[in-house]
Amino acid sequence: MVYTIKEGCRGCDRCWPQCPSGAIKPSTEREGYWIDPTLCNSCPDVAVPRCVSVCESDAYLQPLQAKRGRCKSTLLPPAIPEIFINGQTAPFASSMVIWETCTVLSQRQLLPWQSDATGKLCYRRPVNHGRGEMRFRLAMNPERSPDKTSKGDSLLPMSTEEARGAIAQFDIRATCAHLIFAAYVVTLDCPWKDAFTLNDQHIEKYLGLDRRKDLSKLDKLTLIKNWVYQSCRILVSLDWPRQGKVQAFTLNEQPIWNLLDTQYYFEEDTQGAQHLIGLSFTIRAGGWAKHFLNKRDYRRQTAFFQYGSLPQVLLTEVMSSWQQHEGAVRILLWLLFKLRLGGDHRLTIRTLLRIAYGEERLKEAITVRGAHKRLLKTFEGDLEAICHHGLKPCFDLATYPADIQPLWVKAHAIPDNVDDELAFWTDDASRLLTNHAPRDKWPRLLNARLSGFELSEVWQQTMRRSEPKPRRNSSKSNAQFSQVKFSQARQPHSVEAHSWHDPTTQANPSLTGSKLKVARQQNKLSQRALADCLGKSQSWIRDVEKGRFSISAKDEMRLRQALNIT
């Protein structure tokens, strides 16, 4: 039961020091205090909440009854989506900093957290074969941004004991908020300076929470706030080695996401109780964006501009499978960035097991007799969930033959037609489906490999195409995270953004972006209307008109036909 402070509170200062969760806060709009319903837990360890026991009058502190009706008010800002415009994908920042932060949020206690020299809990990630390093710690208070304090106490990390408790409370669904932020910063010109604002309605729409009728509005707001705050709690410091022409640099510890402001929207009922009906968050990317999401310096080859394509279906998969198939969710999040690198996707099963379940559980399954059985069953179920989510594993028959493949793979070979099914069982002389697994399945599985994945249409957009190699000497350090061309840096929401056009097939430069815009306006067509005619996205038309990338001869011919350009 959540409590509320009704109007008329005199602000006697007795209740707020007693609140162990910090839910009672001074009001800026009226005299007295207000209770943050996303933090209030009614003090479950005592019979009477501590604030109620010290209050002078029972009329002010009352249980907050559930709000009736829909939470719609003119106080709430309009929730106009700025990402996933095409309903399928959106460009997002995909640097190693974002990747490893996603790993911190998804793997949590599975990572090798250790106390550093200052006694704070720290996770270290080597970069470029140990030439550099990323260090992650947790902030004590994500709300205290550097803009709000001159002392910089927002950057104070948690102690080891506090950090371990916070990590244990992390929700893997916070990775969705982290990826949404990564998609928003791509829309900004200077993400390390410019902030973006999104509210709970945006997040509900992106994650499908608006369709959850089993959750109250307060339940949804509490979940959203927790996910946002967990994402903004992570601190990072970098020692980055030189890569190509980009010089080595050091980044002092700061948040991945600076939470500049949290706005609460309340609506008062006829009884005088304040009901929370909305939240909005103002967020700015940390200093990492100046090095890894810098369009201007990328032209000068003094910084990186690293982005990929984020399928909205991935967020839906995380929200639907985080309880039953947490290992599958971890693998999907890892593959989101792994596929971004392009090239060969041969993966060992040992690697997937370590990502999904952690090094400690894998060691236990290898060393403790019989401990592998449950892990093997869980892994095969998670592998099936990944297949259902659009990534069908391709087994390397030399190391992963049919006799040790999961049962669901063999079951998929059964025909749907009755006559064909009868013939299948008649011809199945080897009893492939009904016999027992070989006794040495587990050790053979540890040495097995996947040759790759068959990707669905949406997931294919996350994979980089092979780019023509430039005629210059390239160091091995560039192979870890090679950059995309700046002409395609502003990725449109379609697969065309990932296609590397051969220079010999480029269109005649006579059809420039300015000429295209003039011709479109003369034909009285909007960008969206022209995009629908061509089967493209609106952002593709916008980027062509602004000259962000060239078009192929085929696309130029279609544009000329659609706009009657001779």
DSSP of 286-338, one letter per residue? -THHHHHB-HHHHHTTSS-B-EEEEEHHHHHHHHHHTTT-HHHHHHHHHHHHH
State the CATH number of the domain containing residue 556: 1.10.260.40
Question: 80: which residues sit within 8 A by CB, 6+ positions away?
Answer: none
Residue 90 near residue 83 (C-beta atoms within 8 A)? yes
Q: What is the rounded radius of gyration, in angstroms, for the C-alpha atoms of the chain?
A: 27
Asked if residue 478 belongs to a domain, the reply is no
Q: What was the pLDDT predicted at 146?
A: 54
Domain count, the chain: 4
Alpha-carbon distance 91 to 309, whole Å?
5
In a shared domain, residues 58 and 96: no
Q: Per the domain annotation, does 41 fall within a domain?
A: yes
pLDDT per residue as tens digits for the range 194-215: 999 999 999 999 999 988 888 8
Three-state DSSP class for residue 24: strand
Last residue of a domain, one of 276, 305, 320: 320
Q: What are phi and psi of 177, to 5 degrees?
A: -65, -40
Residues 347 and 299 reside in one and the same domain? no
Can you give the pLDDT at residue 355? 95
The pLDDT tens digits of the residues spanning 467-518 come to 434 444 444 434 333 333 333 333 333 333 333 333 333 334 467 888 888 8
Dist CA 470 CA 17 (whole Å): 64
- Phi-psi region for residue 407, left (φ > 0), alpha (ψ -120 to 50) or beta? alpha
| Residue 69 counted as domain residue | no
Judge if 98 and 183 occupy the same domain. yes
Residue 203 is classified by DSSP as H
- The encoded tokens of residue 18 equal 């007693």
* pLDDT band, very low/low/confident/very high, at 549 (cuts 50, 70, 90): low
Domain identity same for 528 and 393:
no
418 found inside a domain:
no
* Beta strand ranges found along 59-214 (DSSP E): 61-63, 89-93, 114-115, 121-127, 132-138, 195-199
Within-domain flag for 474: no
CATH number, position 3: 3.30.70.20
Among the listed residues 106, 150, 113, the one whose alpha carbon sits nearest the alpha carbon of residue 135 = 113
Mean pLDDT (whole number) for 316-336: 94
Structural domain boundaries, residue 549: 507-566
Mean pLDDT of the chain: 81
What pLDDT does residue 478 have?
A: 40
